[in-house]
Amino acid sequence: MSDPREPALALARANGWSIDHVAIVVADLEATLALYTQTMGFAQLYREIVAEQGIEAVGIAAGDSVIELLRPLDESSAIARFRGDAATKMHHIAYQVTDIVAELARLRAAGVRLIDETPRAGANGNTIAFLHPKSTGGVLTELCQPPATRPRASYPRKRE
């Protein structure tokens, strides 16, 4: 017989991750940004070049999570080839963690292949690391630890 406490117990055992952002690679950043902000009405949170990753990133608030639009700086790069001729294409999902080093160690021990063996700097002040899609059912997956100076609740919840 199932334990009626099981959902609560499962939550207590769970990893605690929440969705930090969903990243979409785009061909035309201005047009896509206008769609998300002016037409759909999301608020823009940040915009920056992440040279090391070869992208410009724009973060858009979606409740407690972020939609991150990525523009490849080089149209011959792997991320641009991944997008191909599409106007936009889902690129990765990022989960927010509180201790990225510990999570990477735990996953490595569980046999998960890591793209980033050690965390590195991402957009919006985050520390990030990618897991290999061969170990995550084909979905490019990022772990993301926000800076201690930016509590999650600081995202705007409605338009000013």
Counting contacts by CB under 5 A, is residue 56 touching Co ion? no
Counting contacts by CB under 5 A, is residue 131 touching Co ion? no
Q: What's the number of CA atoms in the CB half-sphere (13 Å) around residue 99?
A: 6
**If DSSP codes are grouped into helix, strand and coil, which group holds residue 126?**
coil
Minimal CB distance residue for Co ion? 94
Site string for Co ion, 67-106 (x = CB under 5 A): ---------------------------x------------
Least Å distance between CB 142 and Co ion? 5
Beta carbon nearer to Co ion, 120 or 134: 120
Least Å distance between CB 53 and Co ion? 9
Beta carbon nearer to Co ion, 23 or 80: 23
Least Å distance between CB 13 and Co ion? 26
Spatial CB neighbours of 144, under 8 Å, sequence gap ≥ 6: 20, 21, 94, 95, 96, 97, 100, 122, 126, 127, 128
Q: First-to-last CA distance in the chain? A: 51
* Contact yes or no for 143/131 (Cβ under 8 A): yes
Number of residues that bind Co ion (CB under 5 A): 3
Counting contacts by CB under 5 A, is residue 20 touching Co ion? no
- H-helix or E-strand containing 134? none
Cα separation, 145 vs 96, in Å, equals 6
Judged by CB under 5 A, the chain residues 140 through 159 that form the site for Co ion are 142
Which residues of this protein are in contact with Co ion, per CB under 5 A? 23, 94, 142
